[in-house]
Every structure is written in C-alpha cells, then in structure tokens.
Structure 1
Amino acid sequence: MSGPSEPKRATRQRDADRTRAAILTAARTLFSTRGFANTGVREVAELAGVNSSLVGRYFGSKQGLFRAVLEEIDITPMLHGDRRRFGVDMVGVFFDEPDSSGPLLMMILSAADPEAHAASVEFLQTKVIAPLARWLGPPDGEGRAARLNILWSGFLTSWKLLPIQPLAGARVASTRRWLEAATQAIVDEGSA
C-alpha cells in the first residue's frame, strides 16, 4: 500500500533528474566552448538555472562534473548497426547531430588542466578506443580503433575548432564522402 509520501518522492526524483540533466547540459555547453579552466561552477549553475550548491551536491566538484559529462558520451550504440554501413553511419553523426563535435572540443579545450586532461585520456581509452577495438576485432583492433580516433579527431578539429577554408561550403560534401570511405576502409581492414 502506498502512503502519502509516495507521490512526493516520485516528484522529487523527477525534479532531481531534471536538475541533474540541466547541470550536465550546461556543463557540456560551457566545457566545449570555454574549456575546463575557463568554466566556473557558478556559470554552469547559472546556465542550468539552479543554485551553485546543487552542482557540488550532485557531482562533488568541477572535476566530478567534467567526468560526469564525459561519462554521458557513449559510442556503443554505433557498434550495433550494420558493419558495412559504419562509415556512413558514424560520419552521419558528425554532420547531422549539432553537438557531435562537443566532446572533442571539450577535451581539447580542457587539455591544459592536468586533471581534466587525465580524465579525457582515460575516457578516450575506456569509452572509445577499448569498445571500438573489441568491436573491430583482429587483426589489430586496438590499432585500427586508434587510427579511427585520429581520423575523426583530425577532421573535427579542422572543421570545428580550427576551421580550414577547404572544409567550407560546397567542399564539405566531398569531404564527407571521403571521411565515410576512409572510416569504412579502416573498419574493413579486418575482413580482407
């Protein structure tokens, strides 16, 4: 039998989930546009529309918040699609999702802080390279996963962070096709 506190507890949980999500969204936005050092807890809280003490309550510290934002990023859904379309599907994420370059920008802009840098390196290894390497399998799954990371991060850096002119306008379509083919070629190295 449920008592009068049941609905309040459920409402509180929904509010807590919404607050946590708003903080993470604000942090992702600020970390990916300003970096770790230039983002303050108060600024995150203000953008999220919450009291700054809630950031500490939910995440412990700015470093904890940075790690929590990284933890939200998950490549594994991409590993459940058709392997023959991986290049098209993965590159589609970069082009078709507005925030797709956010995690990379967040890590690059935060590289000057030792703790944020260490969290980024750990994240790349455990949440991107390792699952991708397992999915790719032999031969040299880890090396191929590293090459994919190099390819994607180089492209996103040249397109979003340090934009180069050849990636502007009409050339983007041909670059997209090249990136799809280059990605797929690395994936297909194991099936030759």
Structure 2
Amino acid sequence: MTMEDKREPKRRNPAKTQARILDAAFELFSSQGYARTGMREVAERADVATSLVVRYFGTKAALFEQALVRAIYERGFFVRSKPNFGERMAALVVGDEEARIPAMMVLAIADLESREIAQKITRDVVLKSLADWLGPPDAQNRALHMLTLMNGFTIQTRHLRTGDVPPESVRWLARSLQAIVDEENAPVN
C-alpha cells in the first residue's frame, strides 16, 4: 500500500468554500467591475470548479449581490462609535482595502443588471442601516448626504484622480462626515 492509498479523502466544507468564492467575487467585482468579471474567473480565483460557483450562487447577479451584502455586514461600518467617525471613515475611503465597497458600488453603475442590484442594496441595506445608526433627527436625509459624500469622494479619488489625494481634501471629508453624524446633537427647530 502506498502513501497515496493511505491518504484520507478530502472533506468538503461548504461554508468555507462559499466564503472563499464570495471573497474572490468581491475582490474581482470591486477591482474590475461587474461586466468584466466572469464566473470562471471567480472560480479560478477561489480555486474551485465553475460548476460549484453556479451550484452555490446560481447566477452572476446573485453572486454579485451576496458578495456585496456580505462585505457590507462583515466590515460593520455602522456599528462603530460616533466620536471621530468622520476621521476613521475618511481614512478608510482613501485607504486601499476598505474603499473596495464604494468602488464596487460605483463600478456597478456601468451595467444595467449590476446597477439595479446596487440600487436595491443601497436602499435596503446601506441607507437603512446608516439611518438607523445615525438616529433622529432626519436620519434618512442625513444618511443620503453621508453616502453621497463618500461615493463622490470615492469616484474622484479612485477613478478620476490625477495624483495623490491632498491631505486637506481628506480632512474636509472627515469634517463633513462628522458634521452629519453630530447633527443628532443639534437643536431641533
């Protein structure tokens, strides 16, 4: 009997495999967009068969949606403390790793199918969670203002940038975001 014969069969762990697929999908969708990312490419990055990606997620649209929602919840942006939130969020938006969620959302705009998914996630997950986290007064509008600032800043600094992001621009974003957070303490007219 050889060593090959004595080797135990490799046990599958569906949860870990799905997580690996979602991580690969998120990495690709956030760096090159929906239209330029294929199921085969995701499978290769996750080191699984394409048929397994299809089995777990069905369609590219479902994979995109699940990868995006998982990334949002996994990073828990809106469970952080409110003091100094603007500074922390501005640093994340200009940082390499954490800006991938807004980048994925922005890149989704280019394709009708992914844009509809991004709109749904923005409405049902991001804005709702952000408004709940912000609290009154006027939580929905404040959430929209905050998201608009972050998305606009992401587009400018990630996709239209002509050089390094000036530190004064990062400080402006931090102050602007913090002012939105701090509105909960402002007197109501």
Separation in 1 of the partners of 2:173 and 2:184?
18
TM-score (ref. length: structure 1): 0.82
CA contact (8 A) 2:32 2:107 kept: yes
Q: Which residue of 2 aligns with 1:5?
A: none
Deviation at 1:183, TM superposition (A): 0.4
Q: Which residue of 2 aligns with 1:86?
A: 85
Q: Which residue of 1 aligns with 2:185?
A: 191
Summarize the alignment of residues 64-83 of structure 1 with structure 2, pairs less than 5 Å apart. 64-74=62-72, 77-83=76-82
Q: Which residue of 1 aligns with 2:3?
A: none
1:142 aligns with 2:129: no
Separation in 2 of the partners of 1:89 and 1:39?
30
Separation in 2 of the partners of 1:95 and 1:37?
24
Give the match's secondary structure for 1:12: coil
Summarize the alignment of residues 44-123 of structure 1 with structure 2, pairs less than 5 Å apart. 44-74=42-72, 77-96=76-95, 98-123=96-121
Q: Could you list the per-position Cα deviations for residues 89-142 of structure 1 after superposition, in whole angstroms to 9, with x for gaps in the alignment?
A: 22232244x322222222222323322111100111122111111222222110
Summarize the alignment of residues 10-21 of structure 1 with structure 2, pairs less than 5 Å apart. 11-13=11-13, 16-21=14-19
CA contact (8 A) 1:158 1:164 kept: no
Pick closer, same or farther for the CA change 1:40–1:77 going to 2, 3 Å. closer
Separation in 1 of the partners of 2:50 and 2:113?
21
Q: How many residues align?
A: 177
Q: Which residue of 1 aligns with 2:174?
A: 180
Separation in 2 of the partners of 1:134 and 1:180?
20
- The structure in which a higher percent of residues are helix is 1
CA contact (8 A) 2:94 2:157 kept: no
Give the match's secondary structure for 1:183: helix
Q: Could you list the per-position Cα deviations for residues 55-74 of structure 1 after superposition, in whole angstroms to 9, with x for gaps in the alignment?
A: 11111111110011111133
1:72 partner letter: R
Pick closer, same or farther for the CA change 1:112–1:82 going to 2, 3 Å. closer
Q: Could you list the per-position Cα deviations for residues 27-82 of structure 1 after superposition, in whole angstroms to 9, with x for gaps in the alignment?
A: 11221222212211111111221110011111111111001111113368333333
Over the aligned positions, Cα root-mean-square deviation in angstroms equals 2.2
TM-score (ref. length: structure 2): 0.83
